[in-house]
Amino acid sequence: MSHSKNEEVETKEMDFKSMSSSRRYVHSARYLHKVGVPPKQNLFQEFKATVRETFLADDPLRPFKDQPRSRKFVLATQAIFPILEWGRSYSWGKFRGDLIAGLTIASLCIPQDIGYAKLAYLDPQYGLYSSFVPPLIYAFMGSSRDIAIGPVAVVSLLLGTMLSDELDPVQNKPEYLRLAFTATFFAGVTQATLGFLRLGFLIEFLSHAAIVGFMGGAAVTIALQQLKGLLGIKIFTKDTDIISVMKSVWSNVEHGWNWQTIVIGVSFLSFLLFAKYIGKRNKKFFWVPAIAPLISVVLSTFFVFITHAEKQGVVIVKHIEKGINPSSVNQIYFTGEYLVKGMRIGVIAGIIALTEAAAIGRTFAAMKDYQIDGNKEMVALGTMNIVGSMTSCYIATGSFSRSAVNFMAGCETAVSNIVMSCVVFLTLEFITPLFKYTPNAILAAIIISAVAGLLDFEAAILIWKIDKFDFLACMGAFLGTVFSSVEIGLLIAVIISFAKILLQVTRPRTAILGKLPGTTVYRNIQQYPEATKVPGILIIRVDSAIYFSNSSYVRERILRWLMDEEEQVKAECQSTIQFLIIEMSPVTDIDTSGIHALEELHGSLQKKNIQLILANPGPVVIEKLHASNFANLIGDDKIFLTVADAVSSCSPKPVQEQV
């Protein structure tokens, strides 16, 4: 009796489960969502939306909405000169921080500027000029609170190398100087144009890995160039590759080296590196490496003056022109054979300077949790270089070492740049004669210690761990710079960066998906080994937009996946493939070639009696599928919202059993 009752209860439970499962299936089938087609836009609306998203993604005109004309004028003025906005809330407390930071970075920039000018084969005063006018312009127009403006090692070396390829800086000194101002002018025009036209995204084509490698290679090249001053060598190669430099160094070892120069250079280089070590070990002593270069210049100059070491072969700076920047408007080439050369050099150097400044600005803005406007930054940098070219300056940009010191010194606003400019002004007016006995060895030591920070080994190791192709780009740029030249290293960096983009676009990833047990989720079977394939169905995900550049590859890759799957099914005596589902969630766009590839794929599958099914195409894709009539070709009932819906429609019984 009890046995029969148990059987009756079990039967009812089974009936209930069956009914529940059946209801779930009917319910899901009844409420199966179709893929929506967005409202059709006309050509003008589509073009307007594309342009807006490309150039005005940050909606810069938002503050101007519903504002009176007078208010719009004020907002426009503040947009051009941000100092008018944040200056209203400026206080004495902020000025104290900016004053300390400005004095600190001034003590660092003065000796650096003299050395960096030599990298560009210019007289020392031009380095100081470039830390007087450009920082003032940037303080009024820039949006970064922390970036410190002035000449930098990499751009100085790049500019000097490219200019000296066109003109000899000694024999053709006036023409060389004019070409430097011309290159600076067009560097500023390039930067301002990119910002004004909101084309800042173009500089993103240089990958982070390529920049790390290029900066590291430039650091090694700069350090090698300083061996001339550090060792007291008078006859030195003009080539920048490591082989030529080392040959020049060792060929002068018997008679070309000056031991007094070596003692001065090595002693103060050790002091500078030790000061940097102290600053890294304890952040409270950030000021030690900041003032160490100025202390080194003062002590070494005093030492040479009292000992007259210049008579023993120690090369000194000698004369630095006194006074502030003279006008150089009439020295810029606007016609003639050097116009195109200056333009070419300026565009290249300007983009590199812009890339460095953008990276520095974003880094410190993220640390202080505020936003900078990339396009405003480009306009500010461009304007300051245009004005700088007319006031005897060469290319200036954001300096990482000075910006780091500026940040650590507690700067509050760009007023720290104004303070630094004022100190440089006083130096040009009153102090430059005191640098007469400054030995070149100390400038070489300062530059070597400064560029040592550009060798970012931690970043290179991280790049190796994350992406081997990125590491190849990093090492390619590094080795190209070290063993050939700065231009070749930069060219390799650009080529490898573009090669990576092309490789990713032309060879997108695809994956076979399987069903995770107990769910309706379908994932890559290589990433999730527990995911199981659905019998008779092959599910493939395409992880990229389908364009003319990759459409043939996508079609052929899908067919290869199908061929491999058919061979495996045949070997294991399983049910043959009847449906091919393409998961299109990652497919952000498709063009005519992509649709043509899908049509060819559909034709190939029909010959095999396999149905093509699409899952979750995006709004742009589904619109184009309908416009091209491809949706009607495969059937509107073959396009589903999810992979689970597609699978349940293809094989309802197996799915019902697995629920």
Instruction: State pLDDT tens for residues 4-13.
Output: 444 444 444 4
Residue 500 has pLDDT above 90, yes or no: no
pLDDT at 37: 74
Tokens of 99: 């004053």
Instruction: State pLDDT tens for residues 73-88.
Output: 888 888 889 999 999 8
CATH: 3.30.750.24, 3.30.420.40, 2.60.290.11, 3.10.690.10. Which one for 508-650?
3.30.750.24
Residue of 194 and 66 predicted with greater confidence: 194
- Average pLDDT value for residue range 169-198: 94
pLDDT at 82: 92
CA 368 to chain centre: 20
3-state secondary structure of 323: coil
What's the Cα-to-Cα distance from 165 to each of 120, 239, 240, 635, 652, rounded to whole Å?
12, 10, 12, 65, 73
Tokens of 634: 């495969």
pLDDT band at 493 (very low <50, low <70, confident <90, very high): confident
pLDDT at 55: 64
DSSP state of 427: I
- Average pLDDT value for residue range 528-549: 93
pLDDT at 637: 87
Please list, in sequence order, all residues whose beta carbon lies within 8 angstroms of the beta carbon of residue 159, skipping any fewer than 6 positions away: 120, 180, 183, 345, 349, 394, 395
Residue of 280 and 428 predicted with greater confidence: 428
pLDDT at 40: 73
Torsion of CA 203, 207, 213, 214, to 10 degrees: -20
- Average pLDDT value for residue range 148-162: 93
Pairing of strands 579-583, 522-524: unpaired
pLDDT band at 469 (very low <50, low <70, confident <90, very high): confident
pLDDT at 11: 46
Q: Is the dihedral of CA 353, 354, 357, 359 positive or negative?
A: negative
Residue 654 has pLDDT above 60, yes or no: no
- Average pLDDT value for residue range 150-161: 93
pLDDT at 466: 92
From 337, 336, 394, 331, select the one nearest 188 (Cα to Cα): 394
Question: What residue spans of 315-389 are helical by DSSP H?
Answer: 337-368, 374-389
pLDDT band at 32 (very low <50, low <70, confident <90, very high): low
What residues does each domain of the chain span? Answer: 92-499, 508-650
Instruction: State pLDDT tens for residues 318-368.
Output: 889 999 999 999 999 999 889 999 999 999 999 999 988 988 888 888 888
Contact 150, 347 (CB under 8 A): no
Instruction: State pLDDT tens for residues 201-256.
Output: 777 777 888 888 998 999 999 999 999 999 999 888 888 899 999 999 998 887 78
Lowest mean pLDDT among 62-71, 188-197, 597-606: 62-71
Distance CA 630, CA 613 (A): 12
Distance CA 293, CA 308 (A): 22
Mean pLDDT value across the chain: 87
